[in-house]
Amino acid sequence: MPELNNIALKIIGNGKGILAADESTGTMTKRLDKVNIKSTPENRLNFRHTLFTSNSIKNCIGGVILYDETIKQTFNSKTIPEIISETGAIPGIKVDTGAKVLSKSPKEKITEGLDGLRERLKEYYKLGARFTKWRGVYTITNEFPSKLAIHSNAHALARYAALAQEEGMVPIVEPEVLMDGNHNAVTCLKKTSEVIKKCFDELILHKIELKGVILKPNMILSGSDSDEKISSKEIAELTLKCLIDSVPSEVPGIAFLSGGQTEIEATKNLDSINKQNKSNFIMSYSYGRALQQNALKYWSINTNDINGTQKIFDHRANMCALAAQGKWTEKLEQI
């Protein structure tokens, strides 16, 4: 499957990363509510179109993850996948239907969406998508994530990945160990390593072509309620240890989720990872809020100020692209 490998490398190669614009209607409504913008299909489209036509999409973004609503929308008679493709970026699509309560372990989640997935993938391919995303979510406590949650989500991720590759699309495999909790970074390292190793056990069992996969993991961080915070350098060291020990060498690259970090934290930590990275893995980004947050706040003040919104987004995307090459500095944030 050399074509899948080519797509993966185009998405995250040469310092480029992924714009995760795949927020569900419910999630997007919450974000718009916070900035006092009514959540309508038109407003959601207008904000996203502003980002998709920014200068940095050509230079910094290799792929854009869309939501079901967005991939079917048009703007000035062009489809959203066409608009994205014209910039050189690749359209992608979130295909899971969300995390639901895991039977027999009601405090944990299992991601659903396998029913009817083959047919939906065929439709998304016709609409222009060339990569896909599925997120599994795990919590850390003294008893979680349980072996049941680790196994169930890994199995679902592998079944999804097999169907995506069958339809000629690169699967992004996203096992997210949440920051929520008071655990320290060493515990995060242990639990995340266990989760990722099980994911690849299942991917290999399901005969996934690993050269045509992108992993989207969390960085190794202390829990959001932990008193044991660690430095960016230590975050990078632990994150690299986790991935080098857990990810098969055939995988072309990793695109980190921001997972509750601020825009600056997500940029700084990615840069630190790349400054220390001695592996052959590409270490890039697949950020949602950590690319969009300031642009959304600015846009909400005057939704007609497209240029101003794009300027804010372009700066953030440029900072992330530099971080993906280990070339970011705090001084550049002031420019």
3-state secondary structure 151-205: HHHHHHHHHHHHHHHHCCCEEEEEEEECCCCCCCHHHHHHHHHHHHHHHHHHHHH
Pairing assessment for the beta strands 17-20 and 78-79 based on DSSP bridges: unpaired
Catalytic residues: 174, 216
Beta bridge partners of 17: 61
Closest to 67 in 3D by CA, of 82, 80, 53, 51? 80
Domain positions in the chain are 2-334
| Collapsed DSSP state (helix, strand, coil) of residue 207 | coil
Q: Which of 26, 194, 40 is nearest to 99 (CA)?
A: 26
Environment class of residue 284 by beta-carbon count within 10 Å: exposed (0-12), middle (13-18) or buried (19+)? Answer: buried
pLDDT in tens, the chain (335 residues): 679 999 999 999 999 999 999 999 999 999 999 999 999 999 999 999 999 999 999 999 999 999 999 999 999 999 999 999 999 999 999 999 999 999 999 999 999 999 999 999 999 999 999 999 999 999 999 999 999 999 999 999 999 999 999 999 999 999 999 999 999 999 999 999 999 999 999 999 999 999 999 999 999 999 999 999 999 999 999 999 999 999 999 999 999 999 989 999 999 999 999 999 999 999 999 999 999 999 999 999 999 999 999 999 999 999 999 999 999 999 999 86
One-character DSSP codes across 249-318? TT--EEEE--TT--HHHHHHHHHHHHHH--SSSEEEEEESHHHHHHHHHHHHH-TT-HHHHHHHHHHHHH
Confirm if 284 and 17 have CB atoms less than 8 A apart: yes
> Residue type for 143, please?
E
Residue count (the chain)? 335
pLDDT of residue 153: 98
pLDDT score recorded for residue 334: 82
Supply the pLDDT for residue 55.
97
Q: Report the distance separating Cα 35 and Cα 200, nearest Å.
A: 40
- Residue 27's alpha-carbon distances to 85, 146, 177, 235, 252, in angstroms, are 25, 27, 19, 28, 30
Q: Report yes or no: 161 and 121 within 8 Å, Cβ to Cβ.
A: no
**Contact, 303 vs 293, CB < 8 A?**
no
What local confidence, expressed as pLDDT, does residue 99 receive? 97
Structure token digits, residue 294: 């300031």
CATH 3.50.50.60 fits 2-334, yes or no: no
DSSP 217: P
171: preceding bond cis by omega (within 30 degrees): no
Which residues partner with 170 through β-bridges? 131
The pLDDT value given to residue 35: 97
What residue type is assigned to position 123 of the chain?
Answer: E
User: For residue 250, what are the CA distances in angstroms to 42, 208, 215?
Assistant: 42, 11, 12
Residue where the block lists tokens 């008679």:
77
